[in-house]
Structure 1
Amino acid sequence: MARATPNACAAWRPGLPAEPLRVDASTVVLAIETSCDETAAALVMGGHDVLSSVVSTQIDLHAQYGGVVPEIASRAHLEHLNPVIARAIVEAGIDESRIDVVAATVGPGLIGALLVGVSAAKSLALTWGKPFVGVNHMEAHLYAAFLEDPTLEFPLVVLLVSGGHTMLIEM
């Protein structure tokens, strides 16, 4: 089984191949999540310090259907993503020029919902001249534990239950 390192991931810059991205204590990441029915943006410094986290839920929107309707979810992301990102930046109390990396969930998830988040993230990365990092939804769940306790040490065993995905993982 491959070992993952929380401070290294592949970053994409326009016209350049992916390269390792190192996160230090001052690195600020804008993270965007649109894999299903919640639109979220957060700013994280140094890989562990959450400066802001804003979530717009679609629970009421989908309740009448008895579950998430993918097309409706995608359209709601289009409507809510820009205000969610703007609010996250304001709540973090930093200028957007201070953002070093833009990240977004690339899968698994609802394809239309993912396209909204990835398109927005890549557009911001290109506009700001910053690297884009695509994040696997399931791996993000795994590494979220490090936000709570950065002292966790490998190896770890994790039971991950998220939507239609359930995994028992050794990391």
Structure 2
Amino acid sequence: MRVPGIETSCDETAAAVVDDATGALSIVANVVFSQVEQHAPYGGVVPEIASREHVTRLVDVLESALAQCGGWAGVHGIAVTRGPGLVGSLLVGLQLAKGLAMARRLPWVGINHLEGHLSAALLADPPPAYPHVALVVSGGHTHLYKVEAFARYMVLGGTRD
């Protein structure tokens, strides 16, 4: 199964494609456009600039990721960040994913950005055994989790940044 994923939760426009054709999940494409230069003059992320940059860059970023692995052939669905994040930025990714899913008659799934960070560890070879402890440090979200099984976790502690 091949699934492209769209990430627009804050100030980076990203698209990746995962595939399990070999029997193991692997990332077959990953393209990121960083907005660091656009936000640098302001000393931090400006939400309006972030969402406008996503509008400008997202289609090219997704097309580039898909071009690295054969285009839409074999794509079974679309994943997209649904939160948490900047509302305007999230809407850009969600609308593209929903529109493409409708046009291509594919299912789409909204992904929690922080759960994505937790699940990324499962791409390691070998993946961590359950239960394990995971630390997520992502922008304003820093949490320590006890991970019991896939999609079963509890917050042990976190910051209030």
TM normalised by structure 2 equals: 0.86
Are the aligned partners of 1:48 and 1:150 in contact in 2 as well (CA < 8 Å)?
Answer: no
Task: Give the aligned partner of residue 19 of structure 2.
Answer: 45
Q: Give the C-alpha shift of residue 95 in structure 1.
A: 3.1
Query: Secondary structure at the residue paired with 2:115?
Result: helix
* Correspondence for 1:58: 35
Alignment-mate amino acid for residue 62 of structure 1: H
Q: CA deviation at 1:91?
A: 1.0
Give the whole-Å Cα distance in 1 for the aligned partners of 2:58 and 2:32. Answer: 10
Q: Which has the higher contact order (CA 8 A, sep 6+)?
A: 1
Runs of 4+ more than 4 Å apart:
none
Which has the larger displacement, 53-62 or 150-159? 150-159
User: Does the CA contact (< 8 Å) of 1:160 and 1:168 recur in 2?
Assistant: yes
C-alpha separation in 2, matches of 1:91 and 1:155: 35
SS at match of 2:9: coil
The answer (yes or no) to whether the contact 2:121–2:127 under 8 Å persists in 1 is no
Say whether the 8 Å CA contact 2:47–2:88 is kept in structure 1: yes
Aligned to 1:163: 139
Question: Pairwise mapping of residues 71-150 of structure 1 onto structure 2 (< 5 A)?
Answer: 71-92=48-69, 94-150=70-126
Structure 1 stretches lacking a partner, 5+ long: 1-26
Q: Deviation string for 1:145-166 (max 9, x for gaps)? A: 1122353221011121111111
Whole-Å Cα distance in 2 between the matches of residues 66 and 105 of structure 1? 25
- Residue 34 (structure 1) aligned with residue 11 (structure 2): no
Q: Which TM-score applies when normalising by structure 1?
A: 0.81
Output the CA distance in 1 between the equivalents of 2:77 and 2:107: 5
Equivalent pairs counted in the alignment come to 144
**Alpha-carbon distance in 2 for matches of 1:140, 1:105:** 9
CA RMSD of aligned residues (A): 1.1
Residues 118-147 of structure 1 deviation map (CA, whole Å, 9 limit, x = unaligned): 110111111111110100000000011112
Separation of aligned partners in 2, 1:111 and 1:71: 10
